[in-house]
Structure 1
Amino acid sequence: MLTVGSIVIRVTDLEAQTGFWAEALNYEIREPSADDFVLLKPKDGVGPNVSLDKVPSPRMLPPRIHLDLYADGQAAEVERLKGLGAREVHWNGRPADADYIIMEDPEGNRFCVIDAGS
């Protein structure tokens, strides 16, 4: 049996991205961390780890993979994430009744905020 242990995101500014993702997901750093790699773990112990790997990587659009983050209060979460430095991505192909909002972190890594109440 397989389980997801960690999702790895390549980043340029490890310190800034650690701060963004830790705050966005309510995660904490699992020590020890390194100059080029940080593993974030859920504070409540529920869910996969998110690892940040400082490795140069060209940005691909559309991305081949992205995170879907489920939110009970989607609008409030989108605003909170914007306050942390995320940006909303507008896409003309998004259906009017879509339950997701496309966003990207401060380095342009895309993710969706899904309305968990839908």
Structure 2
Amino acid sequence: MMTPECIADVGNWLWKPDAEPEPMAEAVIRSAANRLYYSAYHRALRMADAKKFQLKSVAKGSHDKLIKRLADNNASLLSRKLRSMKEIRCHADYDLTLQFEEKHLKEMSLRLADVVSLTQ
């Protein structure tokens, strides 16, 4: 069965900070950031479902709904972490003309660690 931990493992496997730069390095960094975000998303979703968090306000899209569910149920720190990770992931996935650097991926990794601790 696929788990959020497996998704994070793929993101960490893609990102090897000590490896030599390659022509595809930015694509790999962007892909790793995407995987780290989805690991955080699924961890937060698993927690919200387990605690039966209800959506009390209006939101569009499954990601924004989860972020709102967390905020509506006294998990605002987790909500903010996930929202900030989503913003970085959107940069990685959609803003292809803007450079996406290893520092962005490091920030995602730190935020994922926060999400892990907040969802345990």
Give me the TM-score of the superposition, normalised by structure 2.
0.26
Greater RCO structure (CA 8 Å; 6+ sep): 2
| Richer in strand (by share) | 1
| Richer in helix (by share) | 2
Give me the TM-score of the superposition, normalised by structure 1.
0.26
